[in-house]
Amino acid sequence: MRGFLRRITWRRLLAAGLDLAIVVVVYYVILAFRFAGSVPEGMGWGSYRLTVFLTAAVIIHLTANAAFGVYWIVQRYVGLPQAKQIVKATLVSVGLLLLLDLYWPTGGARLVPLSVVVVGGLAAGAVMTGVRFYSRVFQTRSLKPVEGAKRILVVGAGAAGEMLVRQVYNTPSLKTKIVGLVDDDARLHGSFIHDCPVLGAVSAAPRLAAEHDVEEFLIAIPSATSEQMQRIHDLLEPAGLPIKTLPALSDLIAGQVSVADARALKIEDLLGRSQVNTDLAAVAGYLKDRRVLVTGAAGSIGSELCRQIAAFGSTSLVLVDRDESGLYALHEDLRARGSESYTLVTADIRQRKKMRAVCEKYRPQVVFHAAAFKHVPLMEACPDEAVLNNVLGTAVVAQEAAAAGAERFVNISTDKAVDPISVMGASKRVAEMVVRRIALDCPDTCFCSVRFGNVLASKGSVVPIFERQIRQGGPVTVTHRDMMRYFMSISEAVQLVLQAASMADVVADGMGLLMLDMGRPIRILDLAQKMIAFMHDGNAGQVRIEFTGLRPGEKLQEVLVGRQECSVPTAHPLIHLVTRGPGGSDGDGVAQGLSTDGAAAEDRRPADAAAAGNATGTGDAAGAGNATGTGDAADFGNATGTSALERAGLPADFDERVARLIDLARNHADREALIDALCVLIPTYRPFALEEPLSPAASAFLPAGVWRRANGKEPGREDVSVEEASRPPSAD
């Protein structure tokens, strides 16, 4: 009781007194209306029946208001939730007053007519609500932007635009004034959103900006596709004003929009994809209340995986990477987002004892393996490191996770693993095969690999490289006129990876390989031209494009399905299952695989490959099948028969071939020996099959002898302007 009395303030007493007056006046006015101004003497002012009724009405209404917290509402923040409190209190009051009027002992006569009780009670509630909203409206209208407020024009009069207008009106400290909105929905033209006019279509924005002294555009359409963003950008650009946008819905916290979320429009906004629809229930089904481990957590994909997984309420999240600086940066980011249930582990995935200790300590139920060496030219120069990290590392993590009881293992793969010509791509292709092989020995764990192409703004993406070159005034370096790549934003790719991982149990009996639909490939030259026009404020002609020639291991165009594979649709339109095509089997028909697209049908399999199973590893060598290895071995065991390997599309001597490959890498064999061992494993691997000579700059990635064999001569660089680059190549 003492606490209740302590909460009573003069402001709340004043609100209760105002409600008392409203109840008395409204009920009497309704009573007078009921009798057309001629109230019977027995119900007139001062009569016994009216006095009893009004006294009861005041007590019941004020008590109900207090019970439902009406007097604890802060008037300046009153809204729909607070109005619901008043409505509930009013309905309870009317119900009690009806009972009182029906059963009060007055000798058969009512205190007042029942219609007066119902209509008067509802009218009193409406007036009490209106009074409170009026104070809110008065307070809102009294808030005027401070001097020097930035004048902005909002593009989009939907839900996001409404949230922005409301926030700006209620927060003068933002120093922002919304002069109006534009939207292509003609039905909204001339209407108002919180007293802010919808001035016209998006195409009229430059003219409206000039008429209203607009200083900035803000695009409030989080669900816009890249095509829509490109169109809006093209319409707004002639005004020459800064353009900001809200992040995609998937990047907004709880779908709430704030002016603080606005950021400068980026080239990624014009290159992304249509909104990815994720089955949140399916993803939450295997992540919520689960122990999750992510390798390569400090990388572009790994860090985004961690951010999105944390949002699904995992019991614990173990972040593994050997980049301690990147791990700490991720820690700072997760902490700023309010995440707490995560653990940082600095570890090398190639070290079996370390990974065993990590898996046994944290017992992950779901593992995302994103750790890999991905730089194509560098891996051409260091094939042993590519094999050790991408092949042995994958085997170690997969085996130790399964041994620790993991329910699901997801290997992040790449489109460069498809019919590879690079060491990096070949090593990732073998990693896919290794995951498939380990799945045969560990039936209690669902294994799958998810294959996709380039992601925008990743550490190895051309986008940040082009941005830096454009800011420096050029030249922008493009390797080839016809170079094409798939692109997807990091957040979109990770959403689809999480969705694909929910299908791991569906693909477990096949190749265990899923592919993300990357949309249409983008020509790198077009990307460079678009970025120059986007970033260089109309002076695009001053920035030159320089063609440097293909780098070691690069293709002109990547594909997502190999020559010996085919794709099958799944329940999700952007996720496909990859299966073996007719006669397709990894590791068989090496010469045939090399010759399918016109390459020389030279079987690079070494003469001693058949005896690879008897190879003896030293140090940390890999022992598989009959190979003898010690230390951090990739030992697949002998439990799986030849028939099971063949059903999985793997050659009968797969274990021996992998053992030899890893053994060579452990002993840092020369490049040619490692290439030969990769060719034995991958029938469609065409090592370093270039369409044209390499540029001199590419020699930095390869030993001089290898570069000379690949080139034959030294070409010069081609330096052209954006306009010249746009011209189609000549017929000759």
What's the 3-state SS for 87-148? HHHHHHHHHHHHHHHHHCCCCCCCCCCHHHHHHHHHHHHHHHHHHHHHHHHHHHHHCCCCCC
| Residues β-bridged to residue 456 | 489
Q: Is the pLDDT of residue 154 over 80?
A: yes
Res 590: pLDDT? 32
CA distances from 85 to 91, 386, 720, 723 (A): 10, 65, 70, 66
Res 352: pLDDT? 96
**Contact call for residues 632 and 400 (beta carbons, < 8 A):** no
State the pLDDT confidence band at 259, using cuts at 50, 70 and 90. Answer: low
Res 321: pLDDT? 96
Res 76: pLDDT? 59
Q: Is the pLDDT of residue 605 over 50?
A: no
Q: Is the pLDDT of residue 724 over 90?
A: no
Lowest mean pLDDT, pick from 223-232, 514-523, 539-548 = 539-548
Cα 78 to Cα 82: distance, rounded to the nearest angstrom? 6
pTM recorded for the entire structure: 0.68
**Residue recorded with tokens 């991720």:** 330
Question: For residue 222, which of 137, 315, 156 has the smallest C-alpha distance?
Answer: 156
Region 665-692: mean pLDDT is 84
Cα 654 to Cα 448: distance, rounded to the nearest angstrom? 19
Region 110-124: mean pLDDT is 90
Res 537: pLDDT? 60
Q: Is the pLDDT of residue 620 over 60?
A: no
The maximal CA–CA distance of the chain, rounded, in angstroms, is 120
Cα 604 to Cα 593: distance, rounded to the nearest angstrom? 12
Considering the chain, what is the average pLDDT of its residues? 79
Most confident range, picked from 33-37, 103-107, 357-361: 357-361
Tokens, residue 587: 């590791």
How close are the terminal C-alpha atoms of the chain, in Å?
96
Region 278-283: mean pLDDT is 79
**Contact call for residues 436 and 512 (beta carbons, < 8 A):** yes
State the pLDDT confidence band at 403, using cuts at 50, 70 and 90. Answer: very high
Q: Is the pLDDT of residue 584 over 60?
A: no
190 by Cβ neighbours in 10 Å (0-12 / 13-18 / 19+) ranks as: exposed
**Contact call for residues 707 and 550 (beta carbons, < 8 A):** no
Lowest mean pLDDT, pick from 273-277, 513-517, 660-664 = 273-277
CB neighbours of residue 248 within 10 Å? 18
DSSP H or E stretch at residue 324: helix 324-336
More confident residue, 543 or 173: 543
Cα 74 to Cα 602: distance, rounded to the nearest angstrom? 81
Sheet of 263-264, strand order: 192-193, 196-200, 176-182, 150-155, 216-219, 243-245, 263-264
Lowest mean pLDDT, pick from 142-156, 165-179, 410-424 = 142-156
Q: Is the pLDDT of residue 587 over 60?
A: no
Lowest mean pLDDT, pick from 352-366, 394-408, 553-567 = 553-567
Res 687: pLDDT? 85
